[in-house]
Amino acid sequence: MPLRNKVAIVTGGNSGIGQAIVLALAGQGAKIVIDYIVDEQAVEGLEAEIAKLGGQAIGVDADVSKPAEIQKLVDAAVQAFGRLDIMVNNAGVETRSSILDTTEAQYDRVMDVNLKSAFFGTQIAAKQMIGQGGGGRIINITSVHEDWPMPGNTPYCLSKGGMRMLNRTAGVELGPHGVSVVGVGPGAVATPINASTMNNPGLLAKLDAAIPLGRMARPEEIATLVAFLAGDGASYLTATTIFADGGLMQSSVGL
């Protein structure tokens, strides 16, 4: 198993892409800390599923919009498993609101959960990795919308654009310490965050038609990429984003 003896944290790890990432990393031998703020039963189910596979995982209730709660996640990883090798900043929300109708509260929530958590998740994880020695991998789940406009979802695009420069700048700063920082930019993925599209046959057909591969991604397809980036095969990647969008960015204006 390529990630045997590695320890990973996955924020927002009990649903959607995060859940798939947890299972992919555990399937390759990593010990996992699953961050969540709701649905503890889902976390318990994941822990049980991983245990049946011979792996180890613990759930930690932490609000990653607060740096102290991110520190709690890192401390839990070190206490339970002795170190931290892989940090996946995956937690994210959106408001589907435009520049004209976004409230301050909506703006703050999206920026705190998406960008602030990734910034301090990167910082706090990197400090742990540097202190313990041996380097590490930080993987930030961004979006095609770090580079590709989505009218009517402005705060989300702004947060993901910020993550683009976080990956680039932190990757340069942390490279000399042996810590790589890479973004994964999914396109449309069949997860609860896209429920409004998936539940509307007309919108779904329009979206599928705009994707050269003809369909939304499965969460497992994004998770497989994250697992690759956590392993030795991605040892020379940093300060960049890998897009997994089925070709969407090259074929259509924002939907």
Catalytic (active-site) positions: 156
Does the CA dihedral 10-15-20-26 come out positive or negative? positive
Q: Is 134 helix (H, G, I), strand (E, B) or coil?
A: coil
Strands across the sheet with 136-141, in order? Answer: 57-61, 31-36, 7-10, 86-89, 136-141, 179-186, 240-244
The single-letter DSSP state of residue 187 is -
Handedness of CA 119, 173, 85, 3 (dihedral sign): positive
**Segments in the chain forming alpha helices (H):** 16-27, 40-52, 67-81, 104-110, 117-132, 154-174, 195-198, 201-210, 219-230
